Amino acid sequence: MANKCPNCNFKITSRNQLCDDYRDPNKAYGCPGCGTFYILPKNQPKPWYYWVLVLGNALMIGVIWNIVQVKGATVWLFWGYMTALALVLLVKKLLATKKELQDSGYRSAAAND
Ligand SMILES: [Zn+2]
């Protein structure tokens, strides 16, 4: 997994990353360009409310599609909802990628060569 160092824009890869202590998450992932260490975002399982949202939206889409088909409402009701949903997901994704690397506060002394 490649990450761009927020401090010096160095591209950190699994080949060049610094690792002073693999057991300590504060010292396990460092930028070889400036010696700043980062806490990697964890791959946490999706929380229950994520699945509630997914199911809720699937239900909502079904209901709207049903209204459009049966009641003869405009099909733009459906596409309007889909567009709004896509926008919300896009904004959420942009916000999520913003806080990817977190400075762990640890600095390596071995970055000056
Ligand atoms: Zn750096």
Helix ranges, 1-113 (H): 48-66, 76-98
Residue span of the structural domain in which 102 resides = 3-107
Q: How far is CA 89 from CA 50, 82, 95, in A?
A: 12, 11, 10
C-alpha 108 – ligand 1 centre gap (Å): 11
Residue 112: inside a domain: no
- Cα 98 to middle of ligand 1, angstroms: 16
Q: How far is the CA of 30 from the centre of ligand 1 (A)?
A: 8
The number of distinct structural domains making up the chain is 1
* Token duo for residue 105: 């506060």
Q: Is residue 58 part of a domain?
A: yes
- Chain segment 56-107, per-residue pLDDT in tens: 989 988 888 888 887 777 888 888 888 998 999 888 877 765 556 889 999 9
Beta pairing partners, 39: 102
Confidence at residue 23, expressed as pLDDT on a 0 to 100 scale: 92
Residues 6+ apart with CB under 8 A from 28: 19, 20, 21, 22, 37, 40
Percentage of the chain modeled with pLDDT above 90 = 36
Distance 24 CA to ligand 1 centre (A): 19
Residue 113: inside a domain, yes or no?
A: no
pTM of the model: 0.51
Domain-located, residue 47 = yes
Position 52 in a domain: yes
Tell me the three state secondary structure of residue 104: strand
Domain contains 24: yes
pLDDT for res 26: 92
- pLDDT for position 112: 53
Distance 102 CA to ligand 1 centre (A): 12
